[in-house]
Amino acid sequence: MELNTASSVISLAREMEETSARFYESLAGQYPASEEMFTGYAKENRKFIKQFETAYYGVITDAIEGCYAFNIDPDKYQLNTELAVGAAVAEAAGKALEIEDSLVRFYTDAAEQSKALLADVPRAFTLITKKRTAREEQIKALQ
Amino acid sequence: MAVLEEPVKEIKDVKNYINGEWVESKGEIVDVVNPANCKTIGRVPISTKEEIDAAVAAAQEAWPDWRRTTPLARSRILFRLKDLLEENFEEISRIQTQEHGKCIDESRGETRRGIENVEVACGIPTLMQGYYSEDIAHGIDEWVIPTPLGVFGIIGPFNFPWMIPLWSAPYAVATGNCVVIKPSSEVPLSQMKLAELAEEAGFPPGVWNVVNGGRTVVNGMLDHPDIVGITFVGSTPTGRDVIYKRCGETGKRVIAQCGAKNFMTIMPDCNVDRTVTAMMTSFFGNTGQRCLAAANAVIVGDDDAFYRNFVDRVLALTSNIKVGYGLDESVQMGPIRDKAKKEKALRYIETGLKEGAKLLLDGRKVDIIGDYPDTCFIGPTIFEDVRPDSRVGSEEIFGPVMSIMRVKTLEEAIEISNANSFGNGHSIFTSSGKSAREYHYNILSGNVGINIGIVAPMAFFPFSGMKESFYGVLHTQGKEAVRFFTESKVIIQRWF
């Protein structure tokens, strides 16, 4: 089902960030050489949650189109975090890139759709997109 | 999408908050019912005259000390209240959805708007400064001091149960007055939460009081000689014929914010995508139960293709509105507050049909997301070819009913809008600055939107209103509220 309300999209974003944070935490345990990087990603994911929640709770008012802000199909941004036991770090990096790609697409779409409605929220989404794009370059180096 | 957890899990027995104590009432008890699932979530007293008298007496007794508390000290308590409101933001919001039915985004919006008023009132040390002229004559100086007046009554409505008392209360107490709040007996739970947090913030006993109930409490406020002023938000008949009239008779200050029938003028040069989306919130947000909701869509011009395309776009988007329990995050429109209000809206739909309007979308048939009784649910409804002088086109329905009208010119749109007896929140959608200026210059509306469908003033602006939408002089919120809750004491001084 498509998500239209700001509340549902914020919840989806939170859920995706938590899922990918848990994925990175598990990678940190599996690949000691990249532990610091993966742990950092997990921490940063939770910062992202705070960032967009602060934006949302700060600007949401009854006067704006909060219930009609989005047209997001969550199926388009499914995160597959399954990784075979003993997989090489390059394989893990490939999976991480898929996750990052989904999240970048999600935040790009969400920022575009909410642009005129909730001033600070699209800005928060765009900033997260930028940081994630930079993250993709680091992950590619593991491949 | 999962339904968010309900904060009110058991039936809550609502008490009055008088003189810093939670007091049981001797009055009749009535149920507070969640309109989405029809479950009883509270029991609220219809308090007696003795109880409102006790609250006023406590407030009157607290007033001298509170008045002497410095504005800075008063604002520190408000800062603490602001922090507590932020900490309890989500619970406050969900309570509103439970008691009223509005969607969670709308409840959070209401919470944010209420907090903003506390934030503005925190600035009271500068907001209530007077002004001074040296040497108005040789050796004589003159100045004015805004001085508090005593005890104010605040009467809240059912449609914004938490926010609307906060259009007044923070300014009243910040300026050194004491308050007695009467929430709507239909939706008292979020005001109880607010009173709990006000107590925790540290207001001294008697400064912030809440008395639940109905007419007896209202009459008790109106008749009480120690109540110096009243703010009211509700219907026009009550606001005009009871509150405003009786305050005049008893010499009380009054702000009476009343009903509305808002016209949204749509020019052919509008941004169609953005306008149509804005219309959804404006007509159907809060299930149409707001005094700033648009009710009539006035489409301007003789371009048939534009008109048809525009109406089709509105119809398509409206037809897909998800109706259900507001704690389900996917839901875009909740139920009407209660069955009687739903029936009133249904009667207006019947009236519209009898008056010859064309029913494009029939809200009497509604698909509800989730397994909820349809007792209070109604779907969004659209009428076309509505006459502005018909009942559906001119009376306040307070439900999710859009009436589409067509006129040839902007002048005609302004004329039919101004012919209506209300003047609360008219708006225009256009890309022409000239049309926008002509509109806001000529329209008789206290709040005017230009490409804004819900003209809800921020806390630092007055919430205005004209004609039958407002009775009084000064308004709630911001600097005007500070003026309302204070008298200008002018001092002229000469020393020998």
Q: Do B322 and A61 touch (CB under 8 A)?
A: no
What integer best gives the mean pLDDT of chain A?
93
Interface test with B, best of A67, A70, A75, A117 (most B CBs within 10 A): A67
What token pair was written down for B393? 């086109």
Residues of B in contact with A5 (CB under 8 A): 103-105, 329-332
In angstroms and rounded to an integer, the radius of gyration of the C-alpha atoms of chain B is 23
Res. B426: pLDDT tops 90: yes
**Residue located via tokens 């997301």:** B369
Interface test with B, best of A61, A72, A115, A121 (most B CBs within 10 A): A61
**Is B4 part of a structural domain of the chain?**
no
Question: Which residue of chain A has the CA closest to B317?
Answer: A68
Cα separation of B180 and B229, whole Å?
11
Length of chain A: 143
**Is B7 part of a structural domain of the chain?**
no
Cα separation of A41 and A100, whole Å?
11
**Residue located via tokens 């969670």:** B104
Q: Are residues B132 and B38 in the same domain?
A: yes
What token pair was written down for A55? 């934006």
Neighbours of A75 (CB within 10 A): 8
B285 touches chain A (CB under 8 A): yes
User: If pLDDT is split at 50, 70 and 90, which confidence band does A30 have?
Assistant: very high
Q: Considering the domain A6-140, what is its CATH architecture?
A: Up-down Bundle (1.20)
CA atoms within 13 A on the CB side of A5: 30
Res. B442: pLDDT tops 70: yes
Q: Which of A16, A83, A1, A94 lies closest to A49, judged by CA?
A: A16
Secondary element (H or E) of residue A104: helix A89-114
Lowest mean pLDDT among A53-62, B284-293, B461-470: A53-62
pLDDT tens string A81-131: 999 888 999 999 999 999 999 999 999 999 999 876 677 899 999 999 999
Cα separation of B359 and B384, whole Å?
6
For chains A and B, count residue pairs whose Cβ atoms are closer than 8 Å. Answer: 82
Q: Are residues B248 and B349 in the same domain?
A: no
Cα separation of B415 and B409, whole Å?
10
Q: Are residues B279 and B366 in the same domain?
A: yes
Cα separation of B102 and B98, whole Å?
8
Residues of B in contact with A70 (CB under 8 A): none
> Residue A114: what residue type?
S
Q: Are residues B378 and B398 in the same domain?
A: yes
Cα separation of B377 and B399, whole Å?
11
Q: Do A66 and B455 touch (CB under 8 A)?
A: no
Confidence at residue B207, expressed as pLDDT on a 0 to 100 scale: 98
Range of the domain at B64: 12-258+469-494
**Is B457 part of a structural domain of the chain?**
no
What integer best gives the mean pLDDT of chain B?
97
pLDDT tens string B8-66: 999 999 999 999 999 999 999 999 999 999 999 999 999 999 999 999 999 999 999 99
CA B122 vs. chain centroid, Å, equals: 21
User: If pLDDT is split at 50, 70 and 90, which confidence band does B289 have?
Assistant: very high
Q: Are residues B241 and B274 in the same domain?
A: no
Q: Are residues B478 and B446 in the same domain?
A: no
Q: Are B286 and A62 in contact (CB under 8 A)?
A: yes
pLDDT tens string B76-93: 999 999 999 999 999 999
A113 touches chain B (CB under 8 A): no
Cα separation of B401 and B359, whole Å?
10
Specify the pTM: 0.96
Q: Are B387 and B393 in contact (CB under 8 A)?
A: yes
Q: Do B104 and A7 touch (CB under 8 A)?
A: yes
Q: Are B359 and B383 in contact (CB under 8 A)?
A: yes
Question: Which residue of chain B has the CA closest to A4?
Answer: B330
Cα separation of B453 and B268, whole Å?
16
pLDDT tens string B261-281: 999 999 999 999 999 999 999
Q: Are residues B150 and B183 in the same domain?
A: yes
Q: Are B207 and B178 in contact (CB under 8 A)?
A: yes
Q: Do A8 and B456 touch (CB under 8 A)?
A: no
B136 touches chain A (CB under 8 A): no
User: If pLDDT is split at 50, 70 and 90, which confidence band does B345 have?
Assistant: very high
Give the mean pLDDT of B368-387.
Answer: 98
Of A3, A60, A67, the CB nearest to B285: A67
What token pair was written down for A7? 């509340």
Which positions 51-90 of A are in contact with B (Cβ < 8 Å)?
A: 57-68
Secondary element (H or E) of residue B32: strand B28-33
Counting the structural domains of chain B, the total is 2
Cα separation of B477 and B241, whole Å?
24
Confidence at residue A66, expressed as pLDDT on a 0 to 100 scale: 86
Tell me the CA end-to-end span of chain A in Å, nearest whole number.
Answer: 36
CATH number for the domain that contains residue B236? 3.40.605.10
Q: Are residues B380 and B482 in the same domain?
A: no
Burial class (CB in 10 A: 0-12, 13-18, 19+), A66: buried
CA atoms within 13 A on the CB side of B132: 5
Q: Do B106 and A116 touch (CB under 8 A)?
A: no
List, in sequence order, every beta strand (DSSP E) within B365-407: 368-369, 381-384, 401-407
**Is B139 part of a structural domain of the chain?**
yes
Cα separation of B346 and B354, whole Å?
13
User: Which sequence positions of B are flagged as catalytic?
Assistant: 291
Q: Are A17 and A88 in contact (CB under 8 A)?
A: no
Q: Are residues B203 and B352 in the same domain?
A: no
Question: Which residue of chain B has the CA closest to A74?
Answer: B1
Q: Which of B330, B332, B331, B345 lies closest to B378, judged by CA?
A: B345
Residues of A in contact with B290 (CB under 8 A): 62
CATH number for the domain that contains residue B271? 3.40.309.10
- For residue B186, give how far its alpha carbon lies from the nearest alpha carbon of chain A (Å): 21
Interface pTM, i.e. ipTM: 0.92
Q: Are A133 and A97 in contact (CB under 8 A)?
A: no
pLDDT tens string B127-175: 999 999 999 999 999 999 999 999 999 999 999 999 999 999 999 999 9
Confidence at residue B278, expressed as pLDDT on a 0 to 100 scale: 93
Confidence at residue A116, expressed as pLDDT on a 0 to 100 scale: 66
pLDDT tens string B217-253: 999 999 999 999 999 999 999 999 999 999 999 999 9
What token pair was written down for B113? 């708007």
Q: Are residues B246 and B273 in the same domain?
A: no
What token pair was written down for A14? 């939170």
Q: Are residues B147 and B266 in the same domain?
A: no
Question: Which residue of chain B has the CA closest to A67?
Answer: B332
Of B109, B330, B454, the CB nearest to A60: B109
